[in-house]
């Protein structure tokens, strides 16, 4: 058994790390001598989610909190479901909405027993609820966002929360579980992220947001009224 000197793990990682390759990793996991293979995706990556269909079709099980596959294009979502059924694979994603509470399974059970779902109500973003409950004007909003990210309360990119896209994806997932053929374009969102900060890196966004004062949905520079 190989051990790692925790005092020098960064140097070891820099020296021995290999580039991420989902296809090569899937081949390694799905070895012939293993009766079952399970892919656990704890990212928020579109690239990783794009492999779900082929993994499920190949007989691998997928467990994930990643919302991208179930809220992506409807045709791709349906192809993924068809691949899972054809191969008899397990696809578990209860944590995409409600942090693991049995919301999705409850919706599925209601539909399977013939109940009609009229509406769903709830606070769909624990992140936004936290940010707005903490914000009282005594601390810059940008600092609250940075601290929430450091504590793991936000998506890997806080703009997914602040733009409303995280809520939109949850709505799409819930709607599709109800049997609705929804696309992301069907959900209207009002973003808190200024257009100038929408495409930069996460660190650039966090740094730039500290140089503005947030007012309602629009940030203004510190020198403005």
Burial of 154 (0-12, 13-18, 19+ CB in 10 A): buried
What is the SS3 string spanning 101-140? CCHHHHHHHHHHCCCCCCCCCCCCCHHHHHHHHHCCCCCC
CA-to-CA distance for 153 and 162, rounded, in angstroms? 12
Query: Do the Cβ atoms of 204 and 189 come closer than 8 Å?
Result: no
Cα torsion through 93, 95, 101, 103, rounded to 10: -50
CA-to-CA distance for 78 and 75, rounded, in angstroms? 5
Angle at 157 between CA 151 and CA 159, to 5 degrees: 110
The distance between the two most distant Cα atoms of the chain, rounded to a whole number of Å, is: 67
Nearest to 173 by CA among 95, 112, 118, 116: 95
Q: How many CB atoms lie within 10 A of CB 114?
A: 6
CA-to-CA distance for 30 and 56, rounded, in angstroms? 11
Catalytic residues: 170
């Amino acid at each position: 058994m190989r051990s790692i000197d925790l005092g020098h793990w960064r140097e070891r990682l820099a020296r021995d790390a290999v580039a991420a390759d989902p296809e090569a990793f899937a081949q390694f996991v799905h070895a012939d001598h293993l009766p079952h293979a399970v892919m656990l995706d704890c990212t928020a990556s579109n690239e990783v989610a794009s492999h779900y269909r082929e993994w499920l079709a190949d007989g691998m099980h997928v467990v994930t909190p990643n919302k991208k596959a179930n809220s992506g294009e409807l045709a791709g979502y349906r192809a993924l479901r068809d691949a899972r059924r054809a191969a008899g694979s397990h696809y578990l994603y209860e944590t995409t909405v409600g942090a693991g509470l049995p919301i999705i399974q409850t919706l599925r059970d209601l539909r399977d027993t013939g109940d009609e779902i009229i509406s769903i109500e709830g606070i769909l973003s624990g992140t936004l609820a936290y940010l707005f409950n903490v914000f009282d004007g005594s601390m810059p909003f940008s600092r609250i966002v940075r601290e929430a990210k450091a504590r793991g309360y936000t998506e890997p990119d806080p703009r997914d929360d602040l733009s409303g896209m995280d809520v939109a994806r949850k709505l799409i997932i819930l709607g599709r579980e109800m049997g609705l053929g929804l696309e992301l374009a069907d959900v209207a969102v009002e973003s808190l992220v200024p257009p100038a900060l929408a495409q930069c890196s996460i660190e650039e966004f966090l740094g730039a947001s500290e140089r503005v004062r947030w007012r309602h949905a629009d940030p203004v520079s510190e020198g403005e009224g």
